[in-house]
């Protein structure tokens, strides 16, 4: 078979081009679910399930074991956060359909609402549904573990347990939900637009905006990066990038794999090269080095621009805001 016929066979087999517009056949959708979504959802469900017992252990700890119990609860939070960012770094499937980013990761958290929620002493799923999202999720739990650490036998600790249990329930719901409920023809656009949105969340919200706030304010000070209260900003950056990186170049459902299936091997190689440059820029990145953090955002911007202007068009996708872009 000639090279041209092989290339055409790959395109037809992958089902990626109809009338010049990209589409997703069940094989592509299944590959993303199998190689990317399912293992990440399962990992988050597992680490989220470890949160409630860790918080119950803190609440029941005797005075001489309180510090150890707090350390274990914090470690459980960091593990759940890492797996959450590896999953939600690109909000596709149930993460988007269930509005999980808002329910699990509403920011900025509202301390006054947390205090009000503590006083209301909710118990169980029904009661927690009446609590506003700004007082719930991983950010609220971060507040109760680092900013105003909950102590054993306190109302704050009891509320922290409720937060942990709700996060665990949300994680189970995400893992159990159907992966793709939208028309298959929408999948390429949804995937790539959400990938770009995830990269921007990392670049702007996670990294550049906190530096911008400090440099443009009269008071100065150190940037307040998301997850910084727990000392987990860099951990979150790495986990978010892990989500983006994998969907870009790893697995049969990655953008690079789709490009190769369409006979666009050069574009796949260039995408991998751009990803490698981000790898280098983010390696050992530290919140105490704002200049290097800002430099890393520039590399992320370059990658985003290339995906928007070169990769997306090759797949017949236009980048733009839609109701699929999430919160």
For the segment 266-279, what is each residue's pLDDT rounded down to a tens digit?
999 999 999 999 99
CA atoms of 166 and 128, how far apart (whole Å): 8
* Arithmetic mean of pLDDT, 63-87: 98
User: Could you tell me which of 297, 308, 303 has the C-alpha nearest to residue 272?
Assistant: 303
CA 315, CA 271: separation in Å to the nearest integer? 13
Summarize the confidence of residues 135-156 as an average pLDDT.
97
Is the pLDDT confidence value at 190 over 70?
Answer: yes
Average pLDDT, the chain: 90
- Per-residue model confidence (pLDDT) at position 105: 97
pLDDT at 163: 98
- Average the pLDDT over 228-241 and give the result: 97
Token look-up 């860099």 returns 234
Q: Which of the two residues, 7 and 89, has the higher pLDDT score?
A: 89
pLDDT at 15 over 70: no
More confident residue, 325 or 223: 223
Q: What is the average pLDDT across 306-327?
A: 75
- Distance of alpha carbon 203 from alpha carbon 108, whole angstroms: 17
> pLDDT per residue over 195-228, tens digit each?
999 999 999 999 999 999 988 887 778 899 999 9
pLDDT digits (tens, 9 = 90+) for 96-116: 999 999 999 999 899 999 999
Predicted confidence (pLDDT) at residue 14 exceeds the cutoff of 50: no
pLDDT, residue 8, reads 31
What pLDDT does 23 receive?
53
* Entry field: residues in the chain: 327
Q: Does the pLDDT at position 324 exceed 50?
A: no
Alpha helices in the chain (DSSP H): 3-14, 26-32, 38-49, 51-59, 66-88, 94-97, 100-105, 111-120, 125-129, 137-142, 155-176, 187-200, 209-215, 233-249, 255-261, 265-282, 290-306, 312-314
How far is the C-alpha of 24 from the C-alpha of 18, rounded, in Å? Answer: 10
In this prediction, residue 17 carries a pLDDT of 43
Summarize the confidence of residues 46-64 as an average pLDDT: 98
Least confident of 11-20, 146-155, 175-184: 11-20
pLDDT digits (tens, 9 = 90+) for 287-313: 999 999 999 999 999 999 999 999 999
CA-CA distance, 189 to 267, in Å (whole number)? 18
- pLDDT value of position 148: 96
Residue 174 has pLDDT above 90, yes or no: yes
pLDDT surpassing 90 at residue 56: yes
Give the torsion sign (CA, 275, 281, 284, 286).
negative
* pLDDT score, position 218: 72
Cβ–Cβ < 8 Å for 33, 179: yes
When pLDDT is averaged across residues 246-265 and rounded to a whole number, the result is: 95
**Alpha carbons 303 and 300: distance in angstroms, whole number:** 5
| CA distances in angstroms from 268 to 178, 249, 262, listed in the order given | 29, 8, 10
Determine the Cα–Cα distance for residues 231 and 78; give it in Å rounded to an integer: 10
Q: How far apart are CA 141 and CA 91, in angstroms?
A: 22
């Amino acid at each position: 078979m000639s090279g041209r016929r092989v290339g055409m066979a790959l395109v037809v087999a992958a089902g990626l081009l109809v009338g010049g517009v990209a589409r997703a056949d069940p094989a592509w959708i299944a590959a993303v679910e199998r190689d990317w979504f399912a293992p990440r959802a399962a990992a988050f469900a597992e680490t989220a399930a470890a949160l409630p017992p860790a918080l119950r252990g803190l609440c029941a700890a005797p005075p001489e074991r309180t510090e150890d119990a707090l350390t274990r609860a914090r470690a459980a939070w960091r593990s759940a956060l890492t797996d959450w960012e590896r999953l939600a770094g690109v909000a596709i499937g149930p993460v988007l359909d269930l509005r999980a980013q808002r329910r699990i990761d509403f920011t900025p958290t509202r301390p006054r609402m947390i205090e009000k929620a503590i006083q209301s002493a909710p118990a169980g799923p029904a009661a927690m549904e009446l609590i506003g999202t700004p007082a719930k999720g991983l950010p609220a739990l971060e507040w109760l573990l680092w900013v105003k650490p909950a102590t054993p036998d306190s109302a704050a600790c009891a509320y922290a347990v409720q937060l942990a249990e709700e996060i665990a329930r949300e994680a189970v719901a995400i893992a159990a939900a159907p992966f793709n409920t939208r028309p298959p023809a929408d999948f390429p656009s949804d995937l790539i637009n959400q990938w770009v949105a995830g990269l921007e969340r990392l670049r702007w919200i996670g990294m550049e905006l906190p530096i911008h706030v400090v440099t443009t304010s009269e008071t100065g000070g150190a940037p307040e990066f998301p997850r910084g209260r727990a000392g987990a900003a860099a951990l979150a950056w790495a986990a978010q990038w892990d989500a983006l990186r994998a969907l870009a170049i790893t697995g049969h459902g990655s953008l690079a794999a789709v490009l190769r299936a369409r006979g666009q091997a050069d574009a796949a190689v260039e995408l991998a090269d751009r990803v490698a440059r981000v790898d280098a820029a983010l390696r050992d990145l530290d919140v105490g080095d704002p200049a290097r953090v800002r430099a890393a955002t520039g590399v992320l911007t370059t990658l985003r621009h290339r995906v928007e202007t070169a990769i997306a068009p090759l797949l017949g996708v236009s980048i733009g805001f839609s109701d699929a872009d999430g919160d």
